[in-house]
Structure formats: C-alpha cells, structure tokens
Structure 1
Amino acid sequence: MAGKPTAKKHRQRSTLLTVAIILVILHGIFMTVLYYSGMGGSGSSPVALSLMVLASIADVIAGIALWGWKRWGIYLYAAATVLKAVIILIYSLSAITVFGVLVPAIVVLYIITPRLKDFD
C-alpha cells in the first residue's frame, strides 16, 4: 500500500546556523586528520586516540545530517561530544580541556534549538 506523497517542507537555514554546521563539519575533518596522524594526542593511549578519531568522524557525519535537517544528527553530535569529554576527562583529568570540548557543542546546540521543529 503506497502512502500519500509528502510535501517537502521549505526550510530556510539562517546564516548563523549555516556557519555553525559548516564549522562542525570542518572541525570534525580537521580533528579526524589530527588524531589519525597521532599529532592530536602525543603520549595518549592508542585506545583514546582511536576513540577520538571515531568521535571526530561522528562529528562529520552529524554535521552532514544536520545540513540535511536530520534530527538524529543532533543526537549523534551530542553523543560524540560526550564521548570526547569523557575520554579527555579519563586520560588527562583536565577540566579546562573538557570545557573546550563542551562549550562549542553547547553553542551549536543553542543555535539549533529554535529550529528543532524543522528537523525530521
């Protein structure tokens, strides 16, 4: 049984939201390369570096999903951020560095929050 075709919502992305999503993607790409090359965590455990690479890849995927108005991108971005914060806390015990991970994510999520209804 075929369902009725759904009309596409016309969604206009604000400049601020566009910049935030692009920065999420670019930051994820940059950090993936940095951690994968081993430069992002000299002296860190291979497990921690591997998890940080995965979390950074998740950021890129989440950014692409956010660009496509997919709600699961918000959840993936939040989960990747929490994973990075936990890894940093476990391996470096640096609250300042954890804030460095959490604050940008909080800002991005703050920018996205008014547009939650537009995400599928």
Structure 2
Amino acid sequence: MREAVQEMKDHMVSPTAVAFLERNNREILAGKPAAQKSPSDLLDASAVSATSRYIEEQQATQQLIMDEQDQQLEMVSGSIQVLKHMSGRVGEELDEQGIMLDAFAQEMDHTQSGMDGVLRKL
C-alpha cells in the first residue's frame, strides 16, 4: 500500500504530470477548447485526480485526529491545573499543621517542666 502511495506521489510530481496540468490550466484560462486527448493523457489525469483525492482524504483524516488530540490535551491540561491547585492547598495545610505541632511540642515541654517541679516538691 505504501509503495502504491509513493508511486502516486512520484507520479504527481513528475515533470510529465506537472506539464500536463499546467498546459490544461493555461488552455482553460485562455478559453481554448482542449485538444483531443490521447488515452494515456486521460489515464494520467485520472491518476492525478485519484491521487489528489486520496491525499485530500488523508489530510482531512489527519486533521480530525489532530483536533481530537487537541481536545484531549485541553482536558488533560485542565486536570493538571486542578491537581496543581490541590497540591498547593495540601502543602499549605501541612505547613499549618507543622506550626501547630511545634506549638504543641513547646506546650508539652512547658507542662513537663511544671510536672517535674511538682514532683520535686513532693
């Protein structure tokens, strides 16, 4: 299949095909009736037309795939933003709890000192 596509591509850009298309375009623009075409010219035009349609279809398919991937990336980006916000909040909460634990440890030390003093008096 790839070989056939490559042959079609090569045929499309071949000097013969390009010259044929340019000649036809000039005749159409000049308003001249097209000369009697040989069967090989008709086959060349048919191959070029089929190849062009195939390439257009492939480009349209690729564009649809890229559009779908863009939508999926936007969804992933939104999820990442939510996770970023949540992780920031978790970090802030951990910082606050660390401060509270330090204050609690100081109170425990103060209480322990007071209890040691009471025990010495007993």
Q: TM-score normalized by structure 2?
A: 0.26
Larger radius of gyration: 2
Higher relative contact order (CA 8 A, sep 6+): 1
Q: TM-score normalized by structure 1?
A: 0.26
Richer in helix (by share):
2
